[in-house]
Chain A
Amino acid sequence: MKRQLVLEDGTIFVGEAFGSEKETIGEIVFHTGSSGYQEVISDPTNYGQIIAFTFPQIGNYGINRDDFESIQPSIKGVVVKEAADFPSNWRSSMSLPDYLKQKDIPGVCGIDTRKLTRLIRSKGTMKAAICGMGENVDILVSRLQAVEFPTDQVKRVSATKPYPSPGRGKSVVVVDFGVKHGILRELTKRGCDITVVPYHTKADDILALQPDGIVLSNGPGNPEDVREALDMIQAVQRAVPLFAIGLGHQLFALANGCKTVKMSMGHRGSSYPVKDLETGKVLFTSQNHSYEVAEGSIDAKILSITCRALNDRSIEGLEHRDYPSFSVQFEPESSPGSEDAKFLFDRFLQVMNEENTSKGMVDQHA
């Protein structure tokens, strides 16, 4: 069945339907990874987005049991050149189209995704709709221009109640702004005793858990919409080591007096070069963000910049001058994409250790 992809600027792409056949509206963005679609589709950071893949054949290795980044995907649609109807991989348990149907997520294939990408590159991310051929485009376009996207995405993807993921190592509280399984996986791998708490949990409640460290997770949307978290951050960073990722990084920056701005098209891909300003080395990082910490909004007395994107020089990492807290804009847990930055979780553990010893506590877990 034919379907159309309509953009806020009036551009229309006609393709074939796959997945769910309902109409959908969302913010259209493109992702440049040639693999990792399952992780991208299930990444809560992508809440509300219609994701266009620049790689033309998506779904080749199917959908498997293991590679989800959340239980319930929260994206609004998928746009591809071709969606594989016959996946082939030993772990594959169903095809991408079947999965999207099951999760009631619409998709459209047969699209000139390179044309779309170039359009987004020149005009920035846009609002878009996937709908049937019947739709009156003019009305739809004005609807698109009018539509206001929800600002409570974090609320919609965050846990509602705290839950544990027990371990015998460091006690880590993960503040869930839309946490990817990858972050929990990396902490678990390192033996951490994890408690995941909702995004609006108060500092006292967090500290009451006597964590060795706190992770501010990735998440969707505009950090400005999650101001309620800032007090918490200001309070906890004084007390325990803090590691902030993605949206968490942006909130950490806001909490320490920075501003954040929306990027024209953001960074979404498996392998973005990021320069470590200390060592001068470049690491390749998995990225997925629309907002960034505003250049020049940083108070050098409070925060120092630890790394930058090699190409657009945007800020990729921060460190607190007085507290054992650091943050990265990219996704050190990878899944999908480059795993070069996983060592940051080891660094986090190291920081926690140093803190315990410097606090004169005996580390009962070491």
Chain B
Amino acid sequence: MPKRTDIESILVIGSGPIIIGQAAEFDYAGTQACLALKEEGYKVILINSNPATIMTDTEIADAVYIEPITLDFVSRIIRKERPDAILPTLGGQTGLNMAMQLAEAGVLEECGVKVLGTELSAIEQAEDRDMFRTLMNDLGEPVPESDIVHSLEEAVAFTEKTGFPVIVRPAYTLGGTGGGICENMDDLNEIVSSGLKNSPVHQCLLEKSIAGFKEIEFEVMRDANDNAIVICHMENVDPVGIHTGDSIVVAPCQTLSDREIQLLRNTSLKLIRSLGIEGGCNVQLALDPQSFQYYVIEVNPRVSRSSALASKATGFPIAKLAAKIAAGYTLDEIMNPVTGKTYACFEPAIDYIVTKIPRWPFDKFESANRLLGTQMKATGEVMAIGRTFEESILKAVRSLESSVYHLEHPRGAHLDMEEIEQEIRKATDERLFFVGEALRRGVAIETIHEWSQIDLFFLHKFRKIINLERQLLDHPFDAEKGRKAKESGFSDIVLARLWNVTEQEVYEWRTSSGIIPVYKKVDTCAGEFESDTPYFYGTYEQENESEKSGRKSILVLGSGPIRIGQGVEFDYATVHSVWAIQEAGYEAIIINNNPETVSTDFSISDKLYFEPLTVEDVMHIVDLEKPEGVIVQFGGQTAINLASGLEERGVKILGTSLESLDRAENRDKFEQALSEMNIPQPKGKTAFSVEEAVKIADHIGYPVLVRPSYVLGGRAMEIVYEQKELLHYMENAVKVNPEHPVLVDRYLVGKEIEVDAISDGENVLIPGIMEHIERAGVHSGDSIAVYPPRNITREMKDKIIDYTVRLAKGLEIVGLLNIQYVISQNELYVIEVNPRSSRTVPFLSKITGIPMANVATKLILGDTLQNMGYDTGLAPEQEGVFVKVPVFSFAKLRRVDISLGPEMKSTGEVMGKDRTLEKALYKGLIAAGMEIRDYGKVLITVADKDKEEALALAKRFSGIGYGVMATSGTADFLKNHGIKVEVVGKIGSDGPTLIDVIRQGKAQLILNTLTKGKQPQRDGFKIRRESVENGIPCLTSLDTAEAILGVLESMVFSADAMPKEA
């Protein structure tokens, strides 16, 4: 069928902010789709609240709306733009649910908007657990014994029938939010109630547990002519019971015979056909390891995380083709974009093994519950390709950047057998590494299988790795064994450790004995047809397929897996850098290992190497490609951290030199530099012992901000207000010693300012200055940023500009830099300078129209700002107000303290823009998923030091008719100042406590600044978690509260009675 001509404009709904379960994969899908539709000449209208995405670039869609994805705002845009059609299946669960709401609200009908691709009825049938179950029964496809429940009573009744364990799966949620496995009544109580809360339709599926079955995924596509194909099948190393998003996944299936594959293939195709899906779809199945018995777990009637993985694993661009199908084409009309010679209506054949490992945020959240289950907890993932499973999994392991390079665990050696057994039985994110330890101690794979249910095939492969490790120990520099090790994916770091020599020595020995990798093409057809896709992976084989082109090339390092502190914004910068390099006439080569991203779409760069981001792996590519140099400043900390290792091996780092990078990052050198430029910095010193820390603190005065010097980022950073706290921190949070000193800084109470700038060494362009709503002390990534700044004087602004320019020049920055300042008692201090792209680069680029990553790249390649028409100083400020609001995934992370502090906790962000701050904030907060009620009750429980401030807020709350509730202490204080307060009991007190208030949803907003304590037993912690579990906004910074109050005040009319006449 030819393309549809009855439509001209198409609305695409994005997936909003990055949250656990919905990461960069939808930027990849959305971008591909938009470009594919534009290619067909349609007018593409895009809505997405996430500014850090490529898809929200004005080049990607014809009309881009960075607005909240809510019924309200989307309807408004539809009424304004009057699109002929809507494409709902590319924006993840968010886009899907939005489309459903639009349909139910009758907006689509009202505006005559056709739904492209899969029909909404089909989507509903797949998403609604009940309708889906019915369909399965009609089709005679097996599903585990299950029942739909709408209440706890029904749930109990079900378990009386089936017994435990049962699993709870809420309808219309993503990443299994609120679901879980129940072993007993207590679990049932907790999980079912949270499940019902999380399901927008208050519906859960209760199901007999089939944990332990093989979990298999099929990625399938279908067109309107009923052609249906399987793109890829994947096998979870972690059996059913652990969410696919949290499982190690291998493509293609490894342990299934052809009959089993065909059985599940037939089922998958039957499902996509009977659902009438037009586009891509993901089918999850469970297969009994001991028979042909299988069950259908679920169908996702849209592109998904798995389809992004399948696209990168096979080279087959699913989202792009889904868009073409939506536009009316059939698969047999479209060319396979990879070969260009064959048709898209085919099933990729692959001649390598792909492994995906999730990336979890537990390094940031020590207190979090690491147990993996049916609810996803990972923020991102890495993928690796190899010619054997061993090679691909070990490449994936070192891609994680969790400072593990092998199947081993830092604590492994210290644990006894029982502990290791426990670790393996309870399946945390670290299980893989403990399995390695167990094998190292000679535990039989059958035993480990019994503990973990992991298939013997994989366990045997792990055992091979450990055995080889032993042989290597006894045969240092043995060419044959060394080669075997490399073929099995061992990194030089590991070989160096086994042979106790330096990594450098191993590298030199290896290259001189000709043990170097070759690069093979990902071509969708296992070499059967020619293809000229520039998509490669490295492996230790004979034939190299990656030929160096004649052109001058530049190598760009990507940013690896999405994690807290390093999100999609760095992929945004990487991609823009690639484009700029091409504009400048060079060949752009990229290395990255994140399958979710736009940067790993082979059509973006001239050459894509899907490889781990370690010095070793990068060097191999450098040796082959001999690029002019390497650009590290767009790939976040990942790329920056490789700079020194690369330069040591003679690689040219382009842009800001290694020396300058070091001067910005090394604390002492940085201090030095600042004092030379006489730019003030918070007083601080390095303590090598507890006593010293105490002395320093006394000297510079409390409150102080303490952090270990040896971890980057805000990790383990704390503000302490008195000696007692300091000692507690020194005892518990860090182990201070001469190797691992602790930094003690004066904590400056004041306004935090963030600036991004671009420098060519001569001139320094400052696209914008951002002012934070929350005072310094809340990580810049977690605070609401406002552009343009509103509460700083002209003089202060000039000072900021002056400092920024001098810092850029003084640190000899070429390219981007990001600075955080604090204004305290009218003095400006520098908190830190990041000599690289930052979280706010896409935000500012989009506001100011200055393509920052592009400009920076051009400068790095030798161009000048003036030449590009920019002057030194602050770019003219834009009309309107723009806010960046952080988004958190706390609902998915049990036991994590949500209180804001110097450690970053947010997973994503949204942008709100409008004419006034209040309106912009309103949009931002709504887009971030907060419900803003213009009446209701606020529950206030604050620390003594905050009571004065809280009082002012309480006044204003009651001023707009909000009821005020508080616990006794706070209540008395407020009462004494003439505020009407409803007292609620503290936790444990008899009568209704605040926990009941929260559970029964009697409060719409909670203000809590009790303790910064990390120990769950603290009351404050309970309160905060309780509000998360119950989906009630809980503010831990009075500044955020005040901002929201401002919004509320602007929404409602004041409710003050007339003053009494005297």
Which residues of A are at the interface with B, using a C-beta cutoff of 8 A?
13, 30, 32-36, 38-39, 54-57, 60-61, 64, 66-67, 81-82, 84, 86-91, 112-115, 117-118, 121, 265, 269-273, 275, 280-282, 284, 310-311, 334-339
Q: How many residues of B contact A (CB 8 A)?
A: 51
Q: How far is the CA of A57 from the CA of B235 in the complex (A)?
A: 15
Greatest chain B CB density within 10 A among A33, A67, A91, A282 is at A282
Task: Assess whether A57 is in contact with B526, with CB atoms less than 8 Å apart.
Answer: no
List residues of chain A with CB within 8 A of the CB of B291.
90
Is B503 interfacial (CB 8 A cutoff)?
Answer: no
List residues of chain A with CB within 8 A of the CB of B253.
34-35
Is B252 interfacial (CB 8 A cutoff)?
Answer: yes
Q: How far is the CA of A113 from the CA of B529 in the complex (A)?
A: 15
List residues of chain B with CB within 8 A of the CB of A84.
457
Task: Assess whether A60 is in contact with B258, with CB atoms less than 8 Å apart.
Answer: no
Is B739 interfacial (CB 8 A cutoff)?
Answer: no
Q: How far is the CA of A57 from the CA of B542 in the complex (A)?
A: 17
Task: Known A35-B257, A89-B257, A337-B262; judge A117-B225 contact (CB<8 A).
Answer: no
Q: Kindly provide the distance from the CB of A229 to the nearest chain B CB, expressed in whole angstroms.
A: 30
Q: Which residue of A lies closest to B542 (CB)?
A: A112
Q: Kindly provide the distance from the CB of A124 to the nearest chain B CB, expressed in whole angstroms.
A: 13
Can you sample 23 A-B contacts with CB below 8 Å?
A: A32-B528, A34-B253, A55-B351, A57-B254, A64-B257, A67-B258, A81-B388, A88-B255, A88-B457, A88-B460, A91-B257, A112-B541, A117-B526, A117-B527, A121-B527, A270-B258, A270-B347, A271-B349, A280-B332, A282-B227, A284-B229, A311-B341, A338-B347
Task: Assess whether A273 is in contact with B346, with CB atoms less than 8 Å apart.
Answer: yes
Q: Which residue of A lies closest to B223 (CB)?
A: A282
Pick the contact of B343: A265, A311, A336, A338 (CB < 8 A).
Answer: A311
List residues of chain B with CB within 8 A of the CB of A281.
225-227
Q: Kindly provide the distance from the CB of A316 to the nearest chain B CB, expressed in whole angstroms.
A: 14
Q: Which residue of A lies closest to B463 (CB)?
A: A86
List residues of chain B with CB within 8 A of the CB of A282.
227, 331-332, 345
Q: How far is the CA of A55 from the CA of B353 in the complex (A)?
A: 9
Q: Kindly provide the distance from the CB of A196 to the nearest chain B CB, expressed in whole angstroms.
A: 23
List residues of chain B with CB within 8 A of the CB of A335.
258
Q: How far is the CA of A115 from the CA of B518 in the complex (A)?
A: 11
Pick the contact of B353: A56, A118, A310, A338 (CB < 8 A).
Answer: A56
Task: Assess whether A114 is in contact with B543, with CB atoms less than 8 Å apart.
Answer: yes
Task: Known A56-B353, A67-B257; judge A118-B262 contact (CB<8 A).
Answer: no
Task: Assess whether A336 is in contact with B388, with CB atoms less than 8 Å apart.
Answer: no
Q: How far is the CA of A271 from the CA of B256 in the complex (A)?
A: 17
Task: Assess whether A54 is in contact with B527, with CB atoms less than 8 Å apart.
Answer: yes
6 A-B pairs besides A61-B255, A270-B258 with CB distance below 8 A are A34-B349, A38-B257, A56-B353, A57-B389, A121-B528, A281-B227
List residues of chain B with CB within 8 A of the CB of A117.
351, 526-528
List residues of chain A with CB within 8 A of the CB of B387.
56, 81
Q: How far is the CA of A281 from the CA of B262 in the complex (A)?
A: 20
Is B259 interfacial (CB 8 A cutoff)?
Answer: yes
Task: Assess whether A33 is in contact with B349, with CB atoms less than 8 Å apart.
Answer: yes
Task: Known A281-B225, A281-B226; judge A114-B257 contact (CB<8 A).
Answer: no
List residues of chain A with CB within 8 A of the CB of B1042.
none
Is B596 interfacial (CB 8 A cutoff)?
Answer: no
User: Using an 8 Å CB-CB cutoff, how does the interface string of B40-84 with A read, 1 for contact, 0 for none?
Assistant: 000000000000000000000000000000000000000000000
List residues of chain A with CB within 8 A of the CB of B528.
30, 32, 54, 117, 121, 265, 269
Q: Which residue of B lies closest to A81 (CB)?
A: B387
Task: Assess whether A114 is in contact with B258, with CB atoms less than 8 Å apart.
Answer: no
Q: Kindly provide the distance from the CB of B543 to the nearest chain A CB, expressed in whole angstroms.
A: 4
List residues of chain B with CB within 8 A of the CB of A270.
258, 347, 349
Q: Kindly provide the distance from the CB of A111 to the nearest chain B CB, expressed in whole angstroms.
A: 9
Q: Kindly provide the distance from the CB of B533 to the nearest chain A CB, expressed in whole angstroms.
A: 14
Is B525 interfacial (CB 8 A cutoff)?
Answer: yes
Q: Which residue of A lies closest to B1 (CB)?
A: A280
Secondary structure of the B side of the interface?
A: loop
Task: Assess whether B349 is in contact with A273, with CB atoms less than 8 Å apart.
Answer: no
User: Using an 8 Å CB-CB cutoff, how does the interface string of B574-595 with A read, 1 for contact, 0 for none?
Assistant: 0000000000000000000000
Is B261 interfacial (CB 8 A cutoff)?
Answer: yes
Pick the contact of B530: A60, A121, A275 (CB < 8 A).
Answer: A121
Secondary structure of the A side of the interface?
A: loop
Task: Assess whether B460 is in contact with A86, with CB atoms less than 8 Å apart.
Answer: yes
Task: Assess whether A114 is in contact with B527, with CB atoms less than 8 Å apart.
Answer: yes
Q: Kindly provide the distance from the CB of B522 to the nearest chain A CB, expressed in whole angstroms.
A: 11
Q: Which residue of B lies closest to A275 (CB)?
A: B332
Is B266 interfacial (CB 8 A cutoff)?
Answer: yes
Q: Which residue of B lies closest to A40 (CB)?
A: B258
List residues of chain B with CB within 8 A of the CB of A39.
258
4 nearest A-B residue pairs (beta carbon) = A36-B258, A88-B457, A115-B543, A112-B542
Q: Kindly provide the distance from the CB of B923 to the nearest chain A CB, expressed in whole angstroms.
A: 47
Q: How far is the CA of A293 from the CA of B886 in the complex (A)?
A: 65
Is B352 interfacial (CB 8 A cutoff)?
Answer: yes
Task: Assess whether B225 is in contact with A337, with CB atoms less than 8 Å apart.
Answer: no
Q: Kindly provide the distance from the CB of A120 to the nearest chain B CB, expressed in whole angstroms.
A: 9
Is B342 interfacial (CB 8 A cutoff)?
Answer: yes
Task: Assess whether B526 is in contact with A55, with CB atoms less than 8 Å apart.
Answer: yes
Task: Assess whether A88 is in contact with B527, with CB atoms less than 8 Å apart.
Answer: no
Is B350 interfacial (CB 8 A cutoff)?
Answer: yes
Task: Known A55-B350, A57-B388; judge A273-B345 contact (CB<8 A).
Answer: yes
Q: Kindly provide the distance from the CB of B347 to the nearest chain A CB, expressed in whole angstroms.
A: 4
Is B750 interfacial (CB 8 A cutoff)?
Answer: no
Q: Kindly provide the distance from the CB of A342 to the nearest chain B CB, expressed in whole angstroms.
A: 10
Q: How far is the CA of A112 from the CA of B259 in the complex (A)?
A: 27
Task: Known A115-B541, A280-B225, A282-B331; judge A269-B262 contact (CB<8 A).
Answer: no
Is B289 interfacial (CB 8 A cutoff)?
Answer: yes
Task: Assess whether B289 is in contact with A311, with CB atoms less than 8 Å apart.
Answer: no
Q: How far is the CA of A335 from the CA of B456 in the complex (A)?
A: 26
Is B265 interfacial (CB 8 A cutoff)?
Answer: yes
Q: Which residue of A lies closest to B257 (CB)?
A: A61
List residues of chain A with CB within 8 A of the CB of B252.
34-35, 55
Q: Which residue of A lies closest to B541 (CB)?
A: A112
Greatest chain A CB density within 10 A among B252, B351, B456 is at B351
Q: Kindly provide the distance from the CB of A305 to the nearest chain B CB, expressed in whole angstroms.
A: 17
List residues of chain B with CB within 8 A of the CB of A88.
255, 455-457, 460
Q: How far is the CA of A54 from the CA of B543 in the complex (A)?
A: 14
Q: How far is the CA of A39 from the CA of B257 in the complex (A)?
A: 10
Q: How far is the CA of A29 from the CA of B455 in the complex (A)?
A: 32
Task: Known A121-B530, A269-B528; judge A57-B353 contact (CB<8 A).
Answer: yes
Task: Assess whether A337 is in contact with B527, with CB atoms less than 8 Å apart.
Answer: no
Q: Kindly provide the distance from the CB of B521 to the nearest chain A CB, expressed in whole angstroms.
A: 9
Q: Which of B533-573 contact A (CB under 8 A)?
A: 541-543, 545
Is B520 interfacial (CB 8 A cutoff)?
Answer: yes
Task: Assess whether B255 is in contact with A32, with CB atoms less than 8 Å apart.
Answer: no
Q: Which residue of B lies closest to A60 (CB)?
A: B254
Greatest chain A CB density within 10 A among B265, B266, B342, B388 is at B265
Q: Which residue of B lies closest to A340 (CB)?
A: B269
Q: Which residue of A lies closest to B263 (CB)?
A: A339
Task: Assess whether B349 is in contact with A118, with CB atoms less than 8 Å apart.
Answer: no
Q: How far is the CA of A68 from the CA of B678 in the complex (A)?
A: 82
Task: Assess whether B266 is in contact with A339, with CB atoms less than 8 Å apart.
Answer: yes
Task: Assess whether A114 is in contact with B349, with CB atoms less than 8 Å apart.
Answer: no
Task: Assess whether B349 is in contact with A311, with CB atoms less than 8 Å apart.
Answer: no
Q: How far is the CA of A81 from the CA of B543 in the complex (A)?
A: 13
Is B290 interfacial (CB 8 A cutoff)?
Answer: yes
Q: Kindly provide the distance from the CB of B772 to the nearest chain A CB, expressed in whole angstroms.
A: 52
Q: Kindly provide the distance from the CB of B569 to the nearest chain A CB, expressed in whole angstroms.
A: 37
Greatest chain A CB density within 10 A among B226, B229, B259 is at B259
Task: Assess whether A334 is in contact with B262, with CB atoms less than 8 Å apart.
Answer: yes
Q: Kindly provide the distance from the CB of B285 to the nearest chain A CB, expressed in whole angstroms.
A: 16
List residues of chain B with CB within 8 A of the CB of A60.
254-255, 457
Q: Which residue of B lies closest to A55 (CB)?
A: B351
Pick the contact of B289: A13, A90, A114 (CB < 8 A).
Answer: A90
Q: Kindly provide the distance from the CB of A182 to the nearest chain B CB, expressed in whole angstroms.
A: 11
Pick the contact of A54: B254, B257, B342, B349 (CB < 8 A).
Answer: B349
Q: How far is the CA of A281 from the CA of B529 in the complex (A)?
A: 23
